[in-house]
């Protein structure tokens, strides 16, 4: 039997008490039958001449009790390793007594002591081999002396008994020593196997954890084109994947691998079940060749390419915004000088109107540049815990400073105590400024025209609703609300709502329009203890 893991070794150790019990049964029951039938077991009668049958019956009773007790409590034979095994000493003693009862060494029963010497070393995990062998040797020598044949036939009996005793004693020591060495070797091998198995489980768990954290789906195929390993993302993409099974989807890849087993290649697969790009990397180290497939859906590849393009576009717009600010500053300064010159001389309504147009468009471009700058900085968030009630009071004071006529027109409904969000305060202030400005511009500007409702939402989020008593957003405009540079206002930039939603997304929130309620909903992540 090949031991492939520590559990099999432990099972083998647990079988030792049962093996010892089988040996006991194999000795006791034939003796009972032989005694009942009156058969002779050697050159003598059934029992030693100096003993009566009752001594054999006592021996049988003790042996049967040992067998019965070992069946009920098989683990009593496993004792602490710091002392010799009591059951081993008992078994060796029983065989020594049996040998004496049936005539000593010449009866041939002395050889039965060897299996129990071996089992004694097994029960003690190879400890005390010389002790067990010495005890068995003492019993064997006692049997040779107490037999009474030594000295009666000095040329024949003494030599035969002495040689048999010497052989049995030597066999006891040799079997004890070799068994002890073997058991200790097996024990060390078992511990090493257990450590290796534990290390293998740790490494396998670590590899699986690392593999599942890879952004790509990973599948490993052997030379038989069978799947031997895959991560969770691969299972999500291909639910039919199974270990040890062939996947027909990879046949075009494996055909190329068979033709060029050492070349890395890429291939796109477009099927009803999967549209993805596959990068195949052969692994030729070791006796078994493997092929690692890195699978990425085309949607992810396109999204990544779009992200790179948007990042480059963002950098470009940031540079353009910086370059535009310089001439815009010169235009603003020239316009201010022109206005001052006009105020010093005769008033010209036409020139004053031109200055006003220039000033308005300069302010509009400035606002657009500020929005672009905010958009480029959306990933530089500094989130912190925000108490919504004090934050709203501070924001309301700032808003009323810019819109004094809005006093009394804004009402807040805070549903829930101590609502806290985890958000960048500067981003939240900018989003709320945009929503409040839009609500005020489209409202009827009466008491309670703007309603702000803050309430807990699902999945550890907070919802803030901005509603006004205006007519709402027309259906044909709703689908373009968050598109950049789309505006219905005369002086609008078309970036306000777009930037607001991007800032919300950068803080793991969201900004949407609810047509039924005719209001905007800002979703904020709630501060948790995670």
pLDDT band at 492 (very low <50, low <70, confident <90, very high): low
pTM of the prediction? 0.42
Q: Where are the domains of the chain?
A: 6-193, 215-300, 301-376, 384-525
Across the range 387-404, mean pLDDT stands at 86
**CATH topology identical between 215-300 and 384-525:** no
* Pairing outcome for strands 265-270 and 384-387: unpaired
384-525 CATH, one of 3.40.718.10, 3.40.50.300, 3.90.550.10, 3.30.565.10: 3.30.565.10
pLDDT in tens, 320-348: 666 777 777 777 777 777 777 776 665 66
Distance CA 135, CA 143 (A): 13
How large is the average pLDDT for residues 247-258? 82
Q: pLDDT at position 30, please?
A: 83
**What is the CATH number that goes with domain 301-376?**
1.10.287
The residues near 25 (Cβ < 8 Å, ≥ 6 apart) are 67
Residue of 470, 463, 446, 437 whose CA lies nearest to 526:
463
The position carrying tokens 């033709």 is 259
Instruction: Find the mean pLDDT for residues 289-296.
Output: 85
Contact 423, 464 (CB under 8 A): no
Strand order across the 510-514 sheet = 410-414, 450-456, 461-468, 519-525, 510-514
Torsions phi, psi for 266 (to 5 deg): -125, 150
Report the topology of domain 215-300: Beta-Lactamase (3.30.450)
pLDDT in tens, 61-112: 888 888 888 778 766 666 555 667 777 788 888 888 888 887 778 777 888 8
């Amino acid at each position: 039997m090949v031991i492939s893991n520590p559990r099999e070794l432990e099972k083998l150790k647990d079988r030792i008490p049962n093996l010892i019990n089988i040996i006991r049964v194999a000795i006791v029951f034939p003796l009972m039958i032989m005694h009942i039938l009156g058969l002779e077991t050697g050159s003598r009668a059934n029992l030693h001449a100096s003993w009566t049958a009752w001594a054999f019956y006592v021996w049988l009773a003790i042996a049967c009790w040992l067998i019965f007790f070992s069946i009920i409590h098989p683990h009593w034979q496993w004792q602490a390793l710091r002392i010799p095994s009591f059951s081993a000493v008992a078994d060796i003693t029983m065989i020594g007594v049996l040998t004496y009862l049936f005539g000593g060494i010449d009866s041939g029963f002395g050889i039965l002591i060897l299996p129990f010497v071996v089992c004694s070393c097994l029960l003690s995990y190879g400890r005390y081999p010389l002790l067990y062998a010495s005890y068995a040797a003492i019993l064997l020598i006692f049997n040779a002396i107490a037999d009474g044949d030594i000295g009666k036939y000095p040329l024949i009996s003494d030599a035969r008994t002495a040689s048999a005793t010497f052989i049995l004693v030597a066999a006891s020591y040799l079997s004890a020593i070799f068994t002890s060495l073997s058991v200790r070797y097996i024990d060390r091998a078992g511990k090493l196997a257990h450590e290796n198995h534990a290390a293998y489980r740790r490494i396998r768990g670590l590899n699986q954890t690392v593999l599942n954290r890879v952004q790509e789906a990973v599948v490993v195929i052997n030379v038989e084109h069978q799947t031997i390993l895959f991560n969770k993302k691969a299972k999500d993409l291909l639910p039919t994947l199974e270990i040890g099974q062939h996947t027909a989807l990879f046949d075009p890849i494996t055909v190329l691998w068979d033709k060029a087993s050492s070349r890395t290649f890429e291939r796109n697969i477009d099927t009803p079940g999967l549209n993805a790009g596959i990068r195949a990397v052969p692994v030729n180290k070791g006796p078994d060749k493997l092929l690692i497939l890195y699978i990425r859906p085309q949607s992810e590849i396109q999204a990544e390419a779009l992200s790179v393009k948007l990042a480059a576009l963002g950098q470009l717009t940031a540079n353009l915004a910086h370059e535009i600010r310089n001439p815009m500053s010169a235009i603003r300064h020239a316009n201010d000088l022109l206005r001052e010159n006009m105020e010093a001389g005769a008033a010209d309504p036409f020139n004053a109107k031109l200055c006003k147009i220039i000033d308005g468009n300069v302010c509009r471009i400035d606002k657009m540049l500020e929005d672009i700058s905010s958009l480029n900085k959306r990933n530089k968030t500094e989130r912190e815990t925000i108490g919504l009630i004090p934050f709203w009071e501070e924001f309301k004071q700032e808003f009323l400073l810019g819109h004094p006529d809005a006093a009394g027109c804004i009402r807040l409904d805070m549903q829930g105590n101590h609502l806290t969000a985890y958000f960048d305060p500067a981003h939240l202030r900018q989003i709320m400024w945009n929503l409040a400005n839009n609500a005020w511009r489209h409202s009827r500007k009466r008491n309670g025209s703007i309603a702000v409702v803050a309430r807990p939402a699902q999945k550890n989020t907070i919802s803030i609703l901005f509603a006004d008593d205006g007519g709402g957003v027309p259906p044909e405009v709703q689908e373009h609300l968050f598109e950049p540079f789309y505006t219905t206002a005369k002086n609008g930039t078309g970036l306000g709502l777009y930037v607001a939603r991007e800032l919300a997304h950068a803080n793991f929130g969201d900004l949407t329009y609810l047509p039924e309620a005719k209001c905007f909903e800002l979703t904020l992540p709630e501060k948790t203890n995670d």
